Structure 1
Amino acid sequence: MVGGQDGITSFAVQDNELWLRHLIWLILQVSTTGFVFFQSVHQNRLWIPTLLLLLAGTIKYSERTIALYLASSDSFGTSVLKEPNPGPNYERLMRKYSHYEASNVPVYFEFFIDQKSRCNVIEGKLYEFELMQYAHHYANMYKGLIVNLMFSSLEHGESRNFFSRRDADDTLKILEIELNLFYDLLHTKVVVANSKLGKLVRCISFGLVVAALSLFHKEDKHGLKSFDVKLTYTLFFGVLSLDMVTHLLWMFSDWTVASCFNSTICVLKILEILLHLKRFRWMKADHRGEAIASTPIIFKRWSQTLPQFNFIEFCCQESGSESEFRTMITKILEYMHIKDFIEQKKIDIIQMCNVTVKPLTQNLWQFIFEELLEKSRAADDLEEAKRIISARGEWVLENCDFIECSELMSYVKDVAYDESLLLWHIATELCYSNTDEQSHSRHYCDARNFSKCLSNYMIYLLYQQPSLMSEVSGIAKQRFRDTLAEVQRFFSQRQREPDKLGTDYQRILEVDTSLKPAHVKGNLSKSALFDASKLAKELKKLGPQKWEVMSKVWVELLSYAASRSRGNAHVQQLSKGGELLTFVWLLMAQFGLRDSWVETRIHTRLIVNI
């Protein structure tokens, strides 16, 4: 108990729900150890150091159990609730109102918002200290997102007013710190350690270990084995070293730094150096000057990457004729009635092996930020906000004033979300395979790369992160398998026809899709291959402008998934490195793009016209 893990209390959100088990285990351990200690105290000349270590270990384990309890869903959900507010005294106001009205005195109620409650907004670029202060403020305001708490229009108005005045880089840095603060709340002892009692208890625990070491050192070692003495010293210094490292990590954590802004100049200088080391950094990656996230791994607050999964490339690797040995194995598995299980596990493993990682680029984040900012400015009220966040591409297509996109509307409105993702993913890949597209201007090349990156990222989320996409995934697994089977059949047939020329992607586009696949095949199969081919042909009619349309549609598909997934699913990813989708989820909330906020009237007063 003394030398165990001290900084991290849980590795997953689900671990916090086991606080009661840890409490029972603590009681059992203390009881058992206490019984053994009591039985041996009469012949143990080191009973005082032993008792001190027992107390120190009990304190540490108790801290962890309390931290787990405070981070559990029930306790945390209760802690983020605001103080009970009965509102203005209705009975007294109505009594006055009735009195004046009976006296024929003009009277009415006025509602107003106290502007002093708003956070002061600093214009321009923010320094590291200011970024930390704002992140701490908004983390405290929005930590209720973790338990899907509703927020007032006042809170959304304040945060939207602030973030709409920030640039994309500062916003990303603030969101990064906010999510790290959320992580600390759920997976560390920060709530316990930052309390006055927690600081006192932590010092007592460290002092007990030091006192035990001192008493052991002064004790006569006669009769003790040399190896046992050396081992005991090693364990003592190991425990003290772990304690010192834990203290340092705790002292320089984001929560502690945020609470030390009123400290002495010397402390502020040290914190300034620390924040400078932990700052988010971009690095120029190529001759075009494209910047990618490159914070040193020791100072990273999240992974800063976008996992990529390409469905068509995966299908190409899986296609091809089966060998005689594989056919024989398949028949054996079918006879044993485990073929489906083996095939599914095989597909899952191959999917994981086909996931690649791409660093987040500054241009991509800037593009996502500007698209969400534009939507935020259009969301003037709750109804408009609901309409915008419920759009899965139609808002972009309806407001696309530079080109006619009505033919594309059915591919976002008339299909399920998971089908729409697969359709646009395959269509994006078919369009991207055209090498002539690379000769377009920088603007269209950027939009082309954005579309490709977000397309592969969303398909990765759909098939590899089911907890994040469970609210919108539908029958994604079945659609994946049906489309995979059709692609494999298509390529295996084409391989037996050597007169066919062109790449695999071009072969798909060569198929006549003048009739909808459902009209020819029926609706038993959920395959989206040739519907996607039809979409790709419609997109090609738009010329290079299709990339601007596609990139905007992909951001809308991304934001739709972010708004539909639950807060608990997002915070589960924080212990695994974090996802870009979680940043979009938090940014949308702070832009006011949520379907669960209420209009707020802060104060009510009775106006009497005399």
Structure 2
Amino acid sequence: MRKKTAKKCVTFIIWSAYLLADWAASFAVGLIFDTEEKYASAQDKGDDAKGAEADTGLLLVLWVPFLLLMVGGQDRITSFAVQDNELWHRHLIWLILQLCTTGFVFIQSVHQNRLWIPTLLLLLAGTIKYAERIVALYLASSDSFGTSVLKDPNPGPNYEKLMREYEHYKDSGVPVQFVIFEDRESRVIKYDRFKLSDSELVQYAHRFANIYKGLIVNLMFSSREHKESREFFSKRTAEDALRILETELNIFYDLLHTKSFDLKLTYILFFGVLGLDVVTHLLWMFSDWSTVSSPSKYAKYFPLAKIQSIIYHVLLHKRRPRWKISNGAPQKNQWRVACTAKIFKKLKPKSNESEKKTTEATQKIKWQEASTPIMFKRWSETLSQFNFLSYCYKESSSESIYRIMMTNMLKSMHIKDFIEQKKNDFFLKRSVVSPPLPEKLWEFIFDELLEKSISAHDDEEAKRISSARGDWILENGVFFDDDDSKLSLLMPYVKDVAYDESLLLWHIATELCTTNLPDNTGYEELMFRQFSQWLSNYMMYLLYQQPNLMSEVSGIAKQRFRDTLAEVQRFFRQGSGLKDLVNDPKKGYQIICGVDTHLKPALVKGNLSKSALFDATRLAKELNLLGERKWKVMSKVWVELLSYAASRSRGNGHVQQLSKGGELLTFVWLLMAQFGLRESWVETRIRTRLVVSK
């Protein structure tokens, strides 16, 4: 369940059960050990009154292997987090101690235990079960996993022999030279643009997962693998690509958190404890891993294989991403109502004509949103959103005499900073909402990355594109038929600032640009506007809520966040800014946009503050000069900002997120790798041949 939902309550329950499992088993074994000793002692003394209790004590001995069997864990969760895999030594020691305790209890009671045969068999099964878990943890640890994904050692051609032959021919006066030729292994398989069946999608996902699992430990890939992957994905639709990436990430999850052994070994272990693992076996029979064995190939020979094949194809069809039609405006309004409800509690913002026009115009677009039933999901299928300005207002409106008194009291107790930090983290999390992923947004991201992949004619161009964070699209995108010079005014906001500052600037500017929506807004402009807002809010969520994914590019994001928050709060508390924002958020944004910003804030305020509020206001004014094309420009810039974060993030952060419902950024990370849009990851393979001329 945890890889299909991002709900904290589900994760907390699983986490609690995972931590309590070992402790509960050890505690129970200790109680049984103590109880059995008492009963054995009573029987040895010939106390007939306690004979029935002694039999009960012997029955308790049978429970000990059951506890060991249960502590072996469900095959679907051997580790809770990636870091747990590194603790396989601890589990090995625990198994040895537990076996010693269990063995002592068993040996002490074997002479009078009429159930010693089933007890011994259960002890053997429990040992196998827990040993499976330890092996799974070891194989998923960083050292073992990193070694397992390495290719077989390749010493290359015999250098000493070749040089000996070279010198021999050279001394004999025979023209000789080494020539470079194409490696046979680098020849790329050509794919056609055809529709893949459900089974074929899983087969290809398994193939590419085996190739790209090295991403988890940041390995380099060959040029052949890079070209084949790009050739394959460039011929797929956005939905097929999403389904393949979903399956690949599920395979990554299974490698790190479940007992996904080699298929033959798995079946041997399963049949060894068949009576205890029937349910688990059925789950594996109809899992993505079983697709590799292609049960459909044997359907005409074996009736059971035919039944399995039918059930399997039905389940695969059920696991397709489902999409339901939803209006863009209600989804957006629900998100805003959810935020304002948390902020104002019973206070509801009043709507006005501008808001009505926006709603009516946005309702022209019918959005398809993810709605796969949770039993068939491969990940959470959500797009978390965090709006900075809404959060700022919540903080501004929460000031009261009571809060000021509490702040002063905490300050005198020297714990104000600690309480404030916890309070900020709490309200940040409460301000995040997670609506379903829109299908059109995924198609837009896929098409943008595909276009960049096609533009990457060589490795150097691929590196330049992957390192761009808005500047590539501003330099190479065609938005105006007459003059693209207006775009050059936007370049300082992506090239001359740190990445985390650029995110905050473009996020605030995106929200400020929503203040005025013309009555004759077209379908395309509305669509790009919605893409911009979705990506803008999502990137802010990643920056401040997912530090593991954004640590490589976060910079001094927290300090910049605090400084900007303080400036927005001060602005809202002064004059009529706060009152107008209560009645209509759009008016609050218009007041910010109305501030004279012809001088750079750094020239007026200095550079002690890291606030980005009025730099973002300047950016919003520059964007408004682009007219109706501004949303198209902004949406494409946001895709580059998203892809830049994906290309800079490390595989370890992404695989940690797989057990928490998954993130859209992880799909972008994997898709960019398979499109070849990464820095320093392609290894060009060449061979040489000694050619003797006549």
- With structure 1 as the length reference, what TM-score do the two structures score? 0.90
Distance 1:2 1:185 in 2: 22
> Which residue does 1:513 correspond to in 2?
597
> Which residue does 1:382 correspond to in 2?
459
> Which residue does 2:125 correspond to in 1?
56
- The answer to which of 92-101 and 156-165 deviates more is 92-101
Deviations 1:12-47 (A, max 9, x none): 111111111111101110110001110111111111
Give the drift of 1:118.
Answer: 3.9
Deviations 1:475-518 (A, max 9, x none): 11111111111000000002389899971100100111011111
Query: In the alignment, which of 488, 491, 512 is matched to residue 406 of structure 1?
Result: 488
CA contact (8 A) 2:187 2:224 kept: no
Distance 1:496 1:578 in 2: 39
Distance 1:114 1:417 in 2: 42
> Which residue does 1:340 correspond to in 2?
417
Deviations 1:196-231 (A, max 9, x none): 33322221223xxx5xxxxxxxxxxxxxxxxxxxxx
CA distance 1:22–1:496, shift in 2 (3 Å): closer
Distance 2:260 2:120 in 1: 27
3-state SS of paired residue (1:357): coil
Query: In the alignment, which of 642, 666, 670 is matched to residue 586 of structure 1?
Result: 670
Query: In the alignment, which of 69, 76, 83 is matched to residue 2 of structure 1?
Result: 69
Query: In the alignment, which of 464, 472, 487 is matched to residue 553 of structure 2?
Result: 472
Query: In the alignment, which of 485, 493, 504 is matched to residue 574 of structure 2?
Result: 493
1:94 and 2:175 are equivalent in the alignment:
no
> Which residue does 1:455 correspond to in 2?
536
CA distance 1:536–1:595, shift in 2 (3 Å): same
Query: In the alignment, which of 102, 106, 110 is matched to residue 33 of structure 1?
Result: 102
Query: In the alignment, which of 478, 485, 500 is matched to residue 418 of structure 1?
Result: 500
Query: In the alignment, which of 276, 295, 306 is matched to residue 372 of structure 2?
Result: 295
> Which residue does 2:587 correspond to in 1?
503
CA contact (8 A) 1:111 1:601 kept: no
Number of equivalences: 573
Give the drift of 1:523.
Answer: 0.7
> Which residue does 2:525 correspond to in 1?
444
> Which residue does 2:256 correspond to in 1?
186
RMSD: 2.0
Give the drift of 1:133.
Answer: 1.2
Distance 1:151 1:272 in 2: 33
3-state SS of paired residue (1:558): helix
Structure 2 unpaired stretches of 5+ = 1-67, 300-305, 328-363
- With structure 2 as the length reference, what TM-score do the two structures score? 0.80
Q: How does 1:112-131 map to 2 (within 5 A)?
A: 112-114=182-184, 118-119=188-189, 121-131=191-201
Q: Give the aligned residue type for 1:28.
A: L
Give the drift of 1:268.
Answer: 2.9
CA distance 1:308–1:439, shift in 2 (3 Å): farther
1:280 and 2:314 are equivalent in the alignment:
no
1:156 and 2:237 are equivalent in the alignment:
no
Query: In the alignment, which of 288, 301, 311 is matched to residue 270 of structure 1?
Result: 311
Q: Give the aligned residue type for 1:432.
A: T
CA distance 1:257–1:506, shift in 2 (3 Å): same
Percentage identity across aligned positions?
Answer: 66
3-state SS of paired residue (2:253): helix
Q: How does 1:321-400 map to 2 (within 5 A)?
A: 322-400=399-477
Distance 2:184 2:529 in 1: 47
Distance 2:83 2:457 in 1: 38
CA contact (8 A) 2:577 2:591 kept: no
Query: In the alignment, which of 268, 279, 287 is matched to residue 245 of structure 1?
Result: 279
CA distance 1:55–1:325, shift in 2 (3 Å): same
CA distance 1:114–1:541, shift in 2 (3 Å): same
Give the drift of 1:325.
Answer: 1.7
CA contact (8 A) 2:326 2:368 kept: yes
Distance 1:154 1:63 in 2: 36
CA contact (8 A) 1:13 1:187 kept: yes
CA distance 1:171–1:42, shift in 2 (3 Å): same
CA distance 1:85–1:261, shift in 2 (3 Å): farther
CA distance 1:89–1:459, shift in 2 (3 Å): same
Q: How does 1:314-325 map to 2 (within 5 A)?
A: 314-320=391-397, 322-325=399-402
Deviations 1:114-158 (A, max 9, x none): 168644524321111111111011000000000011112221111
Q: Give the aligned residue type for 1:430.
A: L
- The answer to which of 402-411 and 174-183 deviates more is 402-411
CA contact (8 A) 1:80 1:144 kept: yes
> Which residue does 1:198 correspond to in 2?
266
3-state SS of paired residue (1:604): strand
Distance 2:447 2:522 in 1: 20
CA contact (8 A) 2:186 2:223 kept: no
Deviations 1:307-361 (A, max 9, x none): 0000001111111373222111111011011111111111111111110112111
> Which residue does 2:689 correspond to in 1?
605
Distance 1:262 1:107 in 2: 53
Q: Give the aligned residue type for 1:149.
A: L
CA contact (8 A) 2:252 2:655 kept: yes
Q: Give the aligned residue type for 1:359.
A: P
Deviations 1:291-313 (A, max 9, x none): 12222110100111100000001
CA contact (8 A) 2:525 2:628 kept: yes
3-state SS of paired residue (1:319): helix
Give the drift of 1:550.
Answer: 0.4
Query: In the alignment, which of 76, 85, 91 is matched to residue 22 of structure 1?
Result: 91
Distance 1:602 1:272 in 2: 42
CA contact (8 A) 1:114 1:603 kept: no
CA contact (8 A) 1:393 1:556 kept: yes
Q: Give the aligned residue type for 2:239.
A: D
Distance 1:430 1:151 in 2: 43
Q: Give the aligned residue type for 1:493.
A: Q
Structure 1 unpaired stretches of 5+ = 211-239
3-state SS of paired residue (2:688): strand
CA contact (8 A) 2:199 2:291 kept: no
CA contact (8 A) 1:110 1:606 kept: no
1:482 and 2:559 are equivalent in the alignment:
no
Give the drift of 1:91.
Answer: 2.3
Distance 1:97 1:445 in 2: 69
CA contact (8 A) 1:393 1:557 kept: yes
Distance 2:239 2:263 in 1: 33
Deviations 1:399-436 (A, max 9, x none): 12323300000000111110000000000000123233
Q: Give the aligned residue type for 1:509.
A: C
3-state SS of paired residue (1:160): helix
- The answer to which of 82-91 and 24-33 deviates more is 82-91
3-state SS of paired residue (2:435): strand
Query: In the alignment, which of 284, 294, 298 is matched to residue 260 of structure 1?
Result: 294
> Which residue does 2:64 correspond to in 1?
none
> Which residue does 1:227 correspond to in 2?
none
Deviations 1:585-606 (A, max 9, x none): 0011011111122442353323
User: Relative contact order, CA 8 A, sep 6+: which one is greater?
Assistant: 1
Distance 1:598 1:83 in 2: 18
Give the drift of 1:165.
Answer: 1.3
Distance 1:514 1:592 in 2: 42
Give the drift of 1:106.
Answer: 5.1
